Chain A
Amino acid sequence: MEHPILFISIILEKLGLPIPHGPVGHGLLEQLCEPYMTYTWFVMAFLVVVGKLTLSNIEIMPGKGQNFWELLIGGMHDFFNANMGEELTEKLFPMIATFALYIAVANLIGLIPGFMSPTASINTTLALTIIVWVTHHIIGFRAHGAGYIKHFLGPIPVLIPLMLPIELISNIARLLSLSIRLFGNIMAKETLLGILFMLAGAFFAPLPIMLLGVLVSLVQAMVFVLLTVVYFGQAQEHAH
């Protein structure tokens, strides 16, 4: 859809699998062969293979690969610790770190011709966001029990009829804004690259947008993780 050539789709089509040509496929198999699904699997495989290759023999004196991962994971761990406390970090570090790596790689992969960002589809980002949104309510209920409802009732009992709808609306707005922002930024990048490539690809017109695309991809991945951490921390702390 965004890129003229998607090589995984071409390979699958040669293998005889149905590739949807519209935005939404019809059958189950056609939906499984959507570009954002196949490229999601590709990103997952990439992360697993790279992790396996660089971390297969862990040493006390780290080499290049192990050094990179230690820096990255250590930095994320410190950042989560500072923003949502040690207890939550111990529990949820694998989930949020996986989201960070997946989103960063998925955003950046769209810059290579022949690849597509899975996050340029609202289905991927909405799925990620729903997981985060449900998890932050579960954290709240586990931390406060039924008293978690106080988060939505405002400071004084008289104001409950006023504050309850307001708090509910702003809580659901989190769900929408988190998913649509990531989707919108990445889809804009992909569409712009595609259009510029078709208009003036021979004159390197997409080059400056690619430069901006690197920045946008990394910043959006970090923003998603930052907001996830902030929401988890807020659900954990006491009602104001």
Chain B
Amino acid sequence: MAKKLSTEMVSLLGNYGHIGFTFVIAIFLGLGGGIYLDEKFFEGKTSPWFTFIGLAFGIAAGFNSLFQILRTPAATPEDEDEKVD
């Protein structure tokens, strides 16, 4: 019982423990890409438009990866107690 509980705990931890990290990284990737487009590619002529567009895409990507994490099959471990008992 204790072993079952701990493996379930670890798989839940693995699935949900990285939500925050992935979310933040997606936002910063979008923002960084936007800033790069503004400053390096268009050399500041379009500033700050691509920064904001990139930020919006980054936030959307964060929510997208959040939904992807929630949809994974491992996120809902099946109730094995019913099978065993």
Interface residues of A (CB under 8 A from B): 83, 162, 165-167, 169-170, 172-174, 176-177, 180-181, 219, 222-223, 226-227, 229-230, 233-234
Contacts and interface: CB of A to CB of B under 8 A. Distances in A.
Main secondary structure of the interface of A (DSSP, over half): helix
B29 A173 contact: yes
Given A173-B25, A222-B10, A223-B13, A166 B64 contact: yes
B13 A169 contact: no
Contact of A177 (B21, B57, B64, B74): B21
B48 interface: no
A169 B33 contact: yes
5 closest Cβ contacts across the A-B interface?
A169-B61, A226-B14, A170-B65, A223-B14, A173-B26
Residue from A162, A166, A176 having most chain B Cβ neighbours under 10 A = A166
A169 B26 contact: yes
Interface of B: 10-11, 13-15, 17-18, 21-22, 25-26, 29-30, 33, 57-58, 60-62, 64-65, 68, 72-74
Contacts, number: 71
Contacts of B22: 170, 173-174, 177
B29 A166 contact: no
A170 B61 contact: yes
A76 to B, nearest CB: 12
